């Protein structure tokens, strides 16, 4: 059992580093570069296979992270028992980190990747002298907001994962407090996700939340503020 859990954690780390590394590459390197590059350069990088190769590592890194993470979490619950597991700060912290990571995985596979397939197909058409796919620009904008949302969420996600073993910042007590904390946690995540998937995603029509994520600096600040909100709310509930 110990060897199995170690292998799960090992591959979870490897896949997670690959996934988040590619996420940061897209948001910190590729997107800013594309913003100032000539159209021919962007077209060449997309149609030439660079973006599709990066997206392959990106989405499958997310998938392996998701699978190994939940296998590890479920084995831990089976090992200690569900109630004892959620009676510890470790259990709640790693569970909440896993929920955030699962939302990020959902965004990768069901928002970002489908949208990028349309963008790449449109670019291939244009390179061959055809017309761009009409919805490609809107789908690309939606993908961008979802990607920035994942970048923001990665900050509290990594906080919870790291705090599970190294910083017991709260101790669950009464059942009512646990339920209240979980409900508030999920409501905050729902608001964050709604900002990514609801309403226009173009910069000229974007909401305040989307405009905050339009820059790397704003995304970083949003991630740290979101982490602080989670910690403060949890502290208040368990006070």
CB neighbourhood size of 234 (10 A): 22
* Dihedral angle of Cα 126, 131, 133, 134, to the nearest 10 degrees: 130
Mean pLDDT of the chain: 91
Whether 172 shows a pLDDT value over 70: the answer reads no
- As a whole number, mean pLDDT of residues 218-232 equals 94
Whether 237 shows a pLDDT value over 70: the answer reads yes
Which of 219, 157, 176, 218 is CA-nearest to residue 20?
A: 157
Which of 226, 142, 216 is CA-nearest to residue 187?
A: 226
Query: Tokens 């780390």 map to which residue?
Result: 13
Q: Model confidence over 88-103: pLDDT tens digits?
A: 888 999 999 999 999 9
Cα–Cα dist 226/229, whole Å:
5
User: Which pLDDT value is given to residue 126?
Assistant: 87
Q: How far is CA 147 from CA 32, 58, 130, in A?
A: 13, 11, 28
CB neighbourhood size of 159 (10 A): 23
- As a whole number, mean pLDDT of residues 118-132 equals 90
User: Which pLDDT value is given to residue 238?
Assistant: 67
**Chain centre to alpha carbon of residue 209:** 16
* Dihedral angle of Cα 186, 191, 197, 202, to the nearest 10 degrees: -150
Going by C-beta distance under 8 Å and a sequence separation of 6 or more, which residues neighbour residue 202? Answer: 138, 141
What global pTM score does this model have? 0.94
Q: Model confidence over 24-52: pLDDT tens digits?
A: 999 999 999 998 889 888 888 888 889 99
Cα–Cα dist 236/239, whole Å:
5
């Amino acid at each position: 059992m110990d060897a199995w859990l170690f292998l799960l954690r090992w591959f979870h780390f490897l896949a997670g580093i690959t996934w988040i590394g590619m996420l940061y590459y897209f948001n910190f390197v590729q997107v800013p570069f594309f913003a100032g590059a000539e159209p021919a350069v962007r077209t060449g990088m997309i149609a030439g296979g660079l973006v599709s190769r990066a997206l392959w590592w990106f989405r499958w890194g997310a998938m392996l992270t998701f699978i190994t993470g939940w296998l590890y979490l479920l084995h831990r619950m089976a090992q200690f028992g569900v109630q004892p597991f959620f009676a510890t700060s470790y259990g709640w912290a790693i569970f909440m980190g896993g929920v955030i990571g699962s939302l990020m995985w959902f965004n990768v596979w069901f928002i970002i990747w489908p949208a990028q397939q349309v963008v790449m197909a449109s670019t291939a058409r244009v390179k061959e002298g055809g017309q761009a796919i009409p919805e490609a620009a809107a789908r690309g904008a939606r993908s961008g907001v979802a990607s920035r949302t994942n970048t923001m969420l990665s900050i509290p996600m990594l906080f919870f994962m790291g705090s599970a073993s190294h910083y017991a910042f709260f101790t669950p007590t009464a059942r009512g407090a646990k339920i209240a904390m979980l409900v508030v946690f999920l409501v905050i995540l729902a608001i964050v996700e709604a900002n990514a998937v609801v309403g226009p995603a173009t910069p000229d029509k974007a909401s305040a939340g989307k405009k905050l994520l339009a820059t790397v600096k704003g995304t970083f600040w949003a991630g740290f503020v979101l982490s602080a909100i989670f910690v403060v709310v949890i502290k208040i509930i368990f006070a």
